[in-house]
Amino acid sequence: ALKQQRALLDAEIEFAQKREDLARKNAAAIEDIYRENQQKIIDARVDLRRDEEDIARKGARSQIEIEREAANRRVEIETDYRRELQRIRERFDFDAQEAIRQNDAIAFLRIQRQKDFELQQAQTQRDEEIQDAETSAIEQRQKLQEQLQGQIEDAPRRNRLSFPGGNDLFLWFLSCG
């Protein structure tokens, strides 16, 4: 029973490590994608409106930061989960071996129930933290999009030229593609 329980814990730790590795690879892939997007923004047409370029660059940097933070948070969650599983395993091993040495089947069963309970708690906490992190990233993305949209809508007003005689005209290039 001890070997079987240990094998189950080892398998769960291995899966946690694989999820952590995938989260790290995902974080690196996101970095690559957004680096490419940043370069595309830098290479944008020279005649794009300055304010819109600034807004786009700031938006891309903010988006990269949001995604970087989300990816790093996911790595942190997976790392914490793996560490918690290892802690549970170590405590289970110690307590189970002690119960076996004392030939105490009731204590062994209690230790198994405690381990199962702690594993369920750790899994639930991990799932909640992942959901919270995803929700937070979604909210940050939405807020950023609203801010960028507001700045884009304000750009024409900031680029208004005043001419003698009181005529306000938008910059002619605002209508140019």
Q: What is the pLDDT of residue 137?
A: 93
Residue 34 has pLDDT above 60, yes or no: yes
**pLDDT per position as a tens digit, 128-164:** 999 999 999 999 999 989 988 888 777 655 544 333 4
Pick the range with the lowest mean pLDDT from 43-47, 50-54, 73-77, 152-156.
Answer: 43-47
Write down the pTM of the prediction: 0.59
Nearest to 132 by CA among 77, 61, 64: 77
Kindly give the interhelix angle for 2-42 and 50-101, rounded to the nearest 10 degrees: 170
pLDDT over threshold 90, residue 45:
no
Which pLDDT does position 54 carry in this prediction? 81
What are the distances in angstroms from CA 105 to CA 7, 12, 67, 93? 20, 25, 50, 15
